[in-house]
Structures are given as C-alpha cells and as structure tokens.
Chain A
Amino acid sequence: NAGVTQTPKFQVLKTGQSMTLQCAQDMNHEYMSWYRQDPGMGLRLIHYSVGAGITDQGEVPNGYNVSRSTTEDFPLRLLSAAPSQTSVYFCASALERGIGYTFGSGTRLTVV
C-alpha cells in the first residue's frame, strides 16, 4: 500500500515552460486535493476533486489546471510557469471528511 505518490520530487523550470505534477493514490479515496506551501503562508488549496470527473477551484487556482479522469490520479498542470509559482506542492487524499487526510511527500518546484 503506497499511499499518495507524487512525482517528481524536485523540478526546475524556466519562466514560460509548462509541466505536469503527478499524484496517484491507491487507497480508493474519493477526495483529492493540491496544496502549495510557502514560507509564512501555511498551506493553501489550489484545486480539489470529490470524485472522478469532478473538480473545483480552491483558494489560489490561477495558473493551474487539473483533471480527474480516474479515482487514482489527480495531475496538476502548470500552463506557463512563473517565478511566483516557486513553491512546495503537496497532494492529499481522503476517504471522507473527518477521518484525516493522507499527504504525499511533496514536489519542490523552482521557476527561474
């Protein structure tokens, strides 16, 4: 049981490049989400999904796209990277509210 797997662990992008951060879970969780963590800001929700085919915006969605074609996968796409997107990105999943959320180990992204 791998839990929540994020790839890559580290990435450096040039301004304007696009990329996809991968997130997969093998716990059959319906809820998945993406957060970014910045110093002094805590974690902020980017996008979330409550099941396959259903996604919605979080607190800071601009510059990011998501899709949820399967229960297991929830990729995050950066359309045109900007230095302001330099951050650590975490994917999380949950079976239902109130039980607790399982986090991946994170992707550290630097945009130069």
Chain B
Amino acid sequence: GDSVTQMEGPVTLSEEAFLTINCTYTATGYPSLFWYVQYPGEGLQLLLKATKADDKGSNKGFEATYRKETTSFHLEKGSVQVSDSAVYFCALSESGGSNYKLTFGKGTLLTVNP
C-alpha cells in the first residue's frame, strides 16, 4: 500500500538557519504530493503541493520538488523564522478512480529559536 516516510524530529534550529525536512514515498501510481503545517492547537493547513514529476511547490518561502526518480518531496526553506515553529506533515494522494484518500507521514516537529 501507499506510505510516506519523513525524517524524525524534533528539529531545532536558530532563526535564519536553512531548513530541510526529508520526505520519501511509496505509491503504485502517480500520486499528488503535499506538505501540511500544523501550528500549536490548530488544525492542518495546506502549505504547498505538487501534482506531477518535476513540479515545484512553493509558499511562504518554503519549497519542495516532486522527484519521481528518488520518490522524494523534501521540504526546504532558506531562512527560518520563529513563527515557522510547527509540526510539518508530508502526505500523498494516490491517482486514479475515486481514490481521494490522503496518506500522511508521522510529522516532524520544528522549533526555531530566536
């Protein structure tokens, strides 16, 4: 079945540091890939997405590129801020038919210190 593996946290960085959160996936078809962010006490918000190979999703300074050859969708940001502290989830949605299910990774807690 489908699965998503993301790097275990927690990740602690200083403000303005470079961020990478690794995400790899297993899927039988050509999934859409997502990054969601969850701020403390809140629900999940879509951060960015990519629907086909080599697509780059970007939002709020975050980027991720859909790499089919390595089945990866790593999240990056060049300079993190304290306000980026949150839990980040990588997810996929399988292609085909009426399958709209999201499969999530376990989440990575990011803490950014001033």
Residues of A within 8 A of B (CB): 31, 33, 35, 40-45, 48, 50, 58, 90, 92, 94, 96-106
Contacts and interface: CB of A to CB of B under 8 A. Distances in A.
Contacts of A43: 44, 89, 102, 104
B106 interface: yes
Nearest to B49: A100
Contact of B106 (A42, A99, A100, A106): A42
B51 interface: yes
A28 to B, nearest CB: 15
Interface of B: 32, 34, 36, 42-46, 49, 51, 89, 93, 95, 98-107
Contacts of B32: 97-98
Contacts of B95: 97
B100 A90 contact: no
A97 B99 contact: yes
B44 A48 contact: no
Nearest to B96: A97
A100 B102 CA distance: 10
15 contacts: A33-B101, A35-B104, A45-B103, A50-B98, A90-B44, A96-B100, A97-B32, A98-B32, A98-B51, A98-B93, A99-B49, A100-B46, A101-B46, A103-B43, A105-B43
Nearest to A41: B106
Given A31-B100, A48-B100, A97-B32, A42 B43 contact: no
A48 to B, nearest CB: 6
A105 B42 contact: yes
Contacts of B101: 33, 45, 48, 58
A45 B98 contact: no
A35 B45 CA distance: 14
Contact of B93 (A35, A97, A104): A97
Q: Which of A45, A101, A102, A104 has the most CB of B within 10 A?
A: A101
B27 to A, nearest CB: 13
B106 A94 contact: no
A50 B101 CA distance: 10
B1 to A, nearest CB: 9
